[in-house]
Structure 1
């Protein structure tokens, strides 16, 4: 039976994976784990005999996880397209990431090398799953709905993850439960709600019947997609621009909480913890209307123009952070602006790429190039951030590199030919 696009139940199930997995970037990447990490790991840490700043070590481990995803996702995506087993790969990385989150319960600074393995694998699981998750968007809906559906997914993720964060905060601050239990809850939430997605998402939409060497056939599938990609000027230029501005966006999102811990003049440790959590919640809730507003504007003036506007705002955020952000009230204001543009640029970046894809059955392979671009961008961005901080001893100097990423990304957007798909 042929699959019919725009089925509301399937689309709803697809967006629920955002609800399920977004607890990882909020609880583990942005909120509770970074604060936990700062409290249990000393400022200077010995890692396999090398003395590193604790945040520098964290940025390197995160960068390594992205390198791993960038190396394995293209060939796995080719295999997924050829075999029609995209959902199986999605499940594998979901369960890897969620179980690694739960293993953070055993994080011990005395065994830092072993403990950072959980950080590494949780990141690999989360980002690896997105390759296969994002590839479903052009398969379940027509292009005219991509902006709206992408925004709905991200918005649902912001809501769901905020709910779990609030639950964790009540357990930690009101009931005095150890913060480590929040890592277990994160994994359980991720696995539990993803079952809604798996129950409805179609498997092997195009009825592929793999024969012979799947690895070889998957690699050949990837080569075919690469040739198609190179011949599509709009897609390649957009991907290049996305690669550059993602260095800025993702680095800010990953390292912002560490900026808050080191560069903001909190009254004491208690106010710092509370203030950082408030900032994260501000970002989450403002990102919801931001995502929907940007999706609405894209229908009026086009995707590329809206992304360009977002990048200008990101540049302003970075300049402000470098120049004067030092007090809690400054940090709250910046958090609000970050939230407003974060939802918009994330959802539009995904849907814009989806709209530019040619007519194909190899969506996973095409999205692997999108995700590899994002991962390499994060590697370079977080590595540059950590390296500059380690070299200068001043985290604010790292922000200058982020400004450069946004400026170059904006200029590259101007090179994208006008397309009916984006207007």
Structure 2
């Protein structure tokens, strides 16, 4: 086996907490968050419900010779997309770390997602099959780009600012996505004033989403540091593809010496399985189960975004007072109650109250999870993208299992309420794993240097003070 080329830590070349860089980084949240809001949560699921039906308007479709509920097809498409990205992202992120092409991969996935998102403009009943695959491509682009975007966090920010910068990114995403959603709603609801059919105006919103995403992404592309983590001589190394696998294998070996990191990944895998599933099926649940009108659904989604901004900042402050794992534990416990309430919820005030609670904890869980993982990771690691690929794979596999189980339970039992209630199992498991981190140092002191595979614990004390869980 050829020796591995020495790696220079990316962090040594990047100024921490540079306002221009961190501001530019948050703008990718502003750019790409329109996808989960417009496509995942609001306009697209409602439009899907009008197109993925049979001739009598029933929730039944024929897809590649299989007859199944249209709502289940949507969850299966989401499951397949995240399974695909979970398979390829470790390979791509290890390549990005070794070859120094992190920004390039971020751009490729961004343009794939934005182009596919714009391609949903051609989605009609007659194009259900190809449009499903276009939707899958858009989801792959979105989730793939997030891996590389997240991996910049420990490179551009000091540890004490992880929570606040992560929360600021999510808040930027909420604000930007709400602005575009309002513009899309003006276009859709006022379609007659623009001389357009409602279906055409709806499809036009998909095109606008892709343009917004790719357009505003130019801000982080222009401000983020170029080629972080590039090893010396990598551009002339013809075996850089194989070395990408070696770097990934090295991280796997390092995880054996980082029990807290493995515990957190296990907790994140289980509780995030429930969080992401609720986020992806909430709109279709309100449409098919509660029979809410489009206007009520949209108002609810806007409520989620606004409250989500508040929730991200509130839990960031809470984590400063009681610690990351305690704050996350409280958020996961609230999600357990949300599952129980979701089983009984009906139209009216109870639905809007439940939506407000979901919004409060939705951004908080995502923001705190990202910043907590950054704190547990080895300091000054040259393999940030590879480490975040594990974080991403855990998230994506969780979404695969969560959405797949949701669709299967709904298809077998004939009720999405049963699927919602079943998600409580994921939150119970996640809370249990989080509690094992209580009172422990978040970052393991052994193997803090991720540039080499750690051996036995060092005899000398660690000079830096690791973050602690409370």
Q: Which moved more, 1:399-408 or 1:246-255?
A: 399-408
Give me the whole-angstrom Cα distance separating, in 2, the residues matched to 1:25 and 1:230.
Answer: 34
Q: How do 1:344-363 residues align onto structure 2 when only pairs under 5 Å count?
A: 344-359=364-379, 360-363=381-384
* Aligned counterpart, 2:412: 391
* Aligned counterpart, 2:354: 334
Q: How many positions carry a matched residue from both structures?
A: 417
Alignment partner of 1:310 out of 327, 331, 334: 331
1:230 is displaced (CA, Å) by: 2.2
**Runs of 5+ consecutive residues of structure 2 not aligned to the other structure:** 1-11, 54-58, 442-465
Q: Which moved more, 1:179-188 or 1:229-238?
A: 229-238
| Contact 2:29/2:172 (8 A) holds in 1 | yes
* Aligned counterpart, 2:179: 163
Are 1:194 and 2:210 matched, yes or no?
Answer: no
Are 1:421 and 2:467 matched, yes or no?
Answer: yes
Give me the whole-angstrom Cα distance separating, in 2, the residues matched to 1:412 and 1:82.
Answer: 32
Are 1:55 and 2:71 matched, yes or no?
Answer: yes
Give me the whole-angstrom Cα distance separating, in 2, the residues matched to 1:265 and 1:46.
Answer: 23
Are 1:29 and 2:44 matched, yes or no?
Answer: no
CA RMSD of aligned residues (A): 1.1
* Aligned counterpart, 2:130: 114
TM-score by structure 2 length?
0.87
SS of the aligned residue for 2:204 comes to: helix
Higher helix share: 1
| Contact 2:98/2:244 (8 A) holds in 1 | yes
**Runs of 5+ consecutive residues of structure 1 not aligned to the other structure:** 267-271
Give me the whole-angstrom Cα distance separating, in 2, the residues matched to 1:3 and 1:10.
Answer: 9
1:322–1:85: structure 2 CA closer, same or farther, 3 Å change rule?
same
| Contact 1:244/1:408 (8 A) holds in 2 | yes
Q: Structure 1, residues 340-360: CA drift from partner, whole Å, max 9, x if none?
A: 001111100000000101131
Give me the whole-angstrom Cα distance separating, in 2, the residues matched to 1:77 and 1:230.
Answer: 20
SS of the aligned residue for 1:421 comes to: coil
TM-score by structure 1 length?
0.97
Give me the whole-angstrom Cα distance separating, in 2, the residues matched to 1:290 and 1:206.
Answer: 33
Give me the whole-angstrom Cα distance separating, in 1, the residues matched to 2:362 and 2:68.
Answer: 30
* Aligned counterpart, 1:241: 267
1:250–1:259: structure 2 CA closer, same or farther, 3 Å change rule?
same
Give me the whole-angstrom Cα distance separating, in 1, the residues matched to 2:62 and 2:230.
Answer: 52
Q: Which moved more, 1:199-208 or 1:176-185?
A: 199-208
Alignment partner of 2:278 out of 252, 267, 284: 252
1:244 is displaced (CA, Å) by: 0.4
Are 1:183 and 2:206 matched, yes or no?
Answer: yes
| Contact 1:206/1:361 (8 A) holds in 2 | yes
Structure number, greater radius of gyration: 2
Are 1:300 and 2:317 matched, yes or no?
Answer: no
1:206–1:49: structure 2 CA closer, same or farther, 3 Å change rule?
closer
1:231 is displaced (CA, Å) by: 1.2
| Contact 2:103/2:148 (8 A) holds in 1 | yes
Are 1:134 and 2:155 matched, yes or no?
Answer: no
| Contact 2:229/2:383 (8 A) holds in 1 | no
| Contact 2:75/2:407 (8 A) holds in 1 | yes
